[in-house]
Amino acid sequence: MYYIKKYYKLFILNFILFISITLIISFIQKSQKLFVYEAKLIVEENNNRNQDENLMNYIYPTRENEPYYQKIIDEDPFNADAWLYMSFCYYDLKQHEEALESINFAFAINPSDLLIVLKKSDILKELNRYSDAIELLTDTVKKDPQNTYMLNVLAETFLETSDYEKAAYYFHKVLHIHPKDSRSWLGLAKAYIHLSQDSEAIACIQQAVTNSENDPEVELKAGKL
């Protein structure tokens, strides 16, 4: 009788241990399946987001695509590119105030993006807010004084406002960095023409044509000065 009780207790303990191990294994398997499922959801979500971002790069921002970018902004309000492209849509619709509002959101999110800076300056100029555009561009070239493209844009903006001395100043900055920049030579020639410095203007035009290596576009622009 003693041995029966002993083996019975041992059987019960083994049975409980077996059940416990089975439950633990089942829990681990379910956890793994849940983890894999969640991982798949995350991967799918990232893939969908990447597809949206890639698609956004291929959809040209025109008035017809405004609802598309609005949908992206509704889902991700901190998407600077979507705000940028939305500003393009409004700009295409001639809704310049709305375009400025959109580009301001993009700029607040990513102020170092030069495309955003350029678009914002274009919109400001379209609204005849040249002083704001110049301030924006000046701050940009202060942060990146070797950026000849932005220096040219700033210099050309001064040309548009008839501030020819400042235009010449910034064109000279470009040419100090990149002496063969035909765009700057032509811009400097325009500034000198308005400053009645004809001999300097002619020299700049000659430099632009020489450095262009027979670029017909440069020669055409030079011929119009």
pLDDT tens, N- to C-terminus, the chain (225 residues): 544 444 445 555 555 655 666 655 555 455 444 333 343 333 344 444 444 444 444 445 666 677 777 888 888 889 898 899 889 888 888 899 999 999 999 999 999 999 999 999 999 999 999 999 999 999 999 999 999 999 999 999 999 999 999 999 999 999 999 999 999 999 999 999 999 999 999 999 899 888 777 677 766 676 777
> What is the token pair recorded at 195?
């400053």
**What residues have CB less than 8 Å from 76, skipping those under 6 apart?**
82
**For the chain, which residues make up each domain, given as ranges?**
1-57, 59-128, 130-225
CATH fold of 130-225 reads 1.25.40
Euclidean distance between CA atoms 168 and 1, whole angstroms: 113
**130-225 shares the fold of 59-128:** yes
Amino acid (one-letter) located at 46: N
Provide the H-helix boundaries in the chain: 2-58, 66-75, 80-92, 96-109, 114-126, 130-143, 148-160, 164-177, 182-194, 198-211, 216-223
pLDDT of residue 11: 53
Provide the H-helix boundaries in 59-95: 66-75, 80-92
CATH fold of 59-128 reads 1.25.40
